[in-house]
């Protein structure tokens, strides 16, 4: 059959001979072991067999894709030349206590005060929604007396 068809699968041979595919694989394994036939596809399933003269075809056919067992799931990271050139800068020398105190923290203190005010206002608004006093104008500041303005 290999002389009639240049490339033959076990399924095709089984259909032609009217036998089971397993038996066709056993029949094709005999010339493969004897060296008169080659396996073209480099696979364990859906194997294609051909005569020994098709050895150059065996080198051209690429083996099936098999993922690297050491790699995790997901797409591999695309590394560019810039990433390879970017090296982390060396760490800065530790600061002395005097140098640490010389930093100006006023902007941080102002930002924290603003954040406290926003959180306080948000809590008051949420509490008024839960209590049902959503429309009432009450001062959320705990330092001032909670009174509604006269209308």
Average pLDDT, 10 consecutive residues per value, the chain (151 residues): 71 87 86 78 71 64 69 72 67 82 83 96 91 65 50 43
Residue 4 vs residues 7, 12, 67, 127: alpha-carbon distances, Å:
9, 12, 36, 87
**Alpha-carbon gap, residue 97 to 75, rounded angstroms:** 47
- The reported pLDDT for the residue numbered 60 is 62
Write down the pTM of the prediction: 0.36
Q: Contact, 9 vs 48, CB < 8 A?
A: yes
H-run or E-run covering 122? helix 106-131
Question: What pLDDT, on the 0 to 100 scale, is given for residue 141?
Answer: 54
Residue 21: which residues within 8 A CB-CB, separation 6 or more? 10, 11, 14
Contacts of 53 (CB under 8 A, 6+ apart): none
Tell me what pLDDT residue 35 has. Answer: 78
């Amino acid at each position: 059959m290999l002389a009639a068809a240049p490339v033959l699968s076990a399924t095709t041979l089984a259909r032609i001979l009217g036998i089971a595919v397993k038996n066709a694989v056993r029949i094709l394994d005999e010339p493969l072991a004897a060296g008169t036939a080659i396996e073209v596809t480099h696979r364990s399933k859906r194997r294609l067999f051909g005569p020994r003269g098709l050895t150059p075809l065996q080198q051209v056919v690429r083996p099936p894709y098999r993922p690297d067992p050491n790699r995790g799931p997901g797409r591999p990271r695309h590394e560019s030349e810039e990433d390879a050139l970017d090296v982390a800068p060396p760490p800065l020398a530790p600061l002395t206590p005097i140098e640490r105190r010389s930093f100006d923290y006023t902007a941080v203190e102002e930002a924290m005060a603003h954040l406290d005010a926003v959180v306080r206002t948000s809590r008051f608004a949420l509490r008024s929604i839960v209590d049902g006093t959503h429309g009432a104008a009450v001062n959320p500041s705990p330092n001032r007396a909670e009174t509604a303005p006269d209308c």
